[in-house]
Amino acid sequence: MLDNFIAILRERSIFNHLDYKYFEKNSEYFVPIKYTIDKYKIKSRFSGSNTAHLKIEVFLETNFIRISGSLRKWFYGQLSLKDFTLADLEDALKLLGTILNISFEDLKKFEFSTIEIGLNIPSKVDFSYFKNEIKGFKNSTYNHPVINKTSLTFSNKSFKLIVYDKVEEIKSKIKKKRLLKDIEEENFFDITTKMNYFRIEFKITKGKSRIHSRINIETIGDLLEQFKELFIFFWVNVNKLEFLSENKDVLVFAPKNKTIKEMNDYFMKVGMKSFGYESALELTNQLKNEHKRQERRFVKSTFASIQNENVIQIKAEFLKTVRKAVTFELYWNNWIRYCPVVFHS
The pLDDT score that the predictor gives to residue 181 is: 60
The pLDDT score that the predictor gives to residue 115 is: 97
The pLDDT score that the predictor gives to residue 140 is: 54
Cα–Cα–Cα angle for 321, 159, 107, rounded to 5 degrees:
90
Amino acid symbol at 81: L
Q: Compute the residue count for the chain.
A: 345
The rounded distance, in Å, linking the Cα atoms of 8 and 113 is 7
The pLDDT score that the predictor gives to residue 176 is: 56
The radius of gyration computed from the CA coordinates of the chain, to the nearest angstrom, equals 25
Write out the chain's pLDDT in tens, 345 residues: 899 999 999 999 999 999 889 999 999 999 999 877 789 999 998 887 788 899 999 987 788 999 999 999 999 998 889 999 999 999 999 999 999 999 999 999 999 999 999 999 999 888 888 888 888 888 656 657 788 888 999 988 889 999 999 988 887 776 655 554 667 777 777 777 778 899 999 999 988 999 999 999 999 999 999 999 999 999 999 999 988 876 667 777 777 777 888 888 878 877 777 777 788 778 888 888 888 888 888 888 877 776 666 666 788 889 999 999 999 999 999 998 888 888 886
